[in-house]
Structure 1
Amino acid sequence: MDFEDIMTGLSNIDEKVIPDTTTKRKMTEAGAKVLAEKLKEATPRTKHNDVKYGHLQDNVAYQDTDIDGEENGSSTVGYGKKAYVARFLNDGTVKMPATHFVDNVRRESSDAVFKAQREAYDKLIRGDQ
């Protein structure tokens, strides 16, 4: 077996194993859904009733595109128009201590997000049921 045969064999494996953009999109969407749920659970809920935007916890959303809406296999999780409020609560201000709830959720849910993405990969690429 020569070098060319080896490289041809590797390229055939890559086509079967490496996901295309549509598959990546479905994989990252599965992970984003898990992260959004975990973030919603951890987001503090105030007693204040904001008629215009609602509670920060109710504004957690995900999309299966990047932040600019481009379909490149990425997914995005965030707070929409209330993101600035989440930043103040997470990072703190001069008058308010930081809670780091977003940072903690990202760190603590990384295994669950990866598991959801892996399950989507197995289902889409390998045909696992």
Structure 2
Amino acid sequence: MVDIGNLGSWADNLEKAYSLSISEQARITKSGADVLRKNIADYLRSHHYRNRKTGEEPHLADSVIDDATNILGKVDGSSVVGFPPEKGYIARFLNDGTKYIHGDDYLDKVRNASLSEIFEAENTEYQKILEEKGISGV
């Protein structure tokens, strides 16, 4: 509850809390992307991992990547999670299916199941940023 006498300082803190730099926004979204990357890799290990000799090529579960950039590689406060091009087509086959492979639709499953964990990680990072700025009570 906000004390009426402190309403001005509360409003100032609220304004500071909402004016985040691009790098601060990227930190927040990257923390959520880290969670999604881990959950996708864990799902692939538990549902699609076979112990077989793959040579030097990493398994799809070990190839999930995330980055604090947009899809074009520019830093704009967003983050992406996905696969490198040489593994992306395999991920799509597993997700969507082919004539010979029944699709798993794992990307939507994992993304939906991870939403609360992603938001929690992003909120934790946001609170760290607010503490660094010396903002409280927002």
Q: Could you say which TM-score interval applies, normalised by the shorter chain?
A: 0.7 to 0.9
1:42-94 Cα shifts (integer Å, max 9, x gaps): 01213443335321111011111112210001111111120110110011111
Amino acid at match of 1:78: G
Where 1:94 maps in the other structure, the secondary structure is coil
Q: 61, 68, 74: which one pairs with 2:65? A: 61
Structure 1 runs of 4+ with >4 Å offset? 10-13
Amino acid at match of 2:100: K
Q: 39, 43, 49: which one pairs with 1:45? A: 49
Question: RMSD of the TM alignment (CA)?
Answer: 2.3
2:23 equivalent to 1:22? yes
| 1:95 shift after superposition | 1.4
Q: Which runs of 5+ in 1 are unaligned?
A: 1-9
Aligned twin of 1:102: 107
Distance in 1 between residues matched to 2:53 and 2:87, nearest whole Å: 14
Where 1:109 maps in the other structure, the secondary structure is helix
How many residues align? The count is: 120
Aligned twin of 1:124: 129
Percent identity of paired positions between Structure 1 and Structure 2: 30
Amino acid at match of 1:25: A
Aligned twin of 1:87: 92
Distance in 2 between residues matched to 1:16 and 1:108, nearest whole Å: 28
Q: Which runs of 5+ in 2 are unaligned?
A: 1-10
Distance in 2 between residues matched to 1:54 and 1:91, nearest whole Å: 21
Amino acid at match of 2:18: V
1:9-54 Cα shifts (integer Å, max 9, x gaps): x798434323221111000010000101101100121344333532
Amino acid at match of 1:98: G
Distance in 1 between residues matched to 2:122 and 2:13, nearest whole Å: 23
Q: 101, 104, 120: which one pairs with 1:115? A: 120
| Mean CA deviation greater in 117-126 or 84-93 | 117-126
Distance in 1 between residues matched to 2:70 and 2:52, nearest whole Å: 32
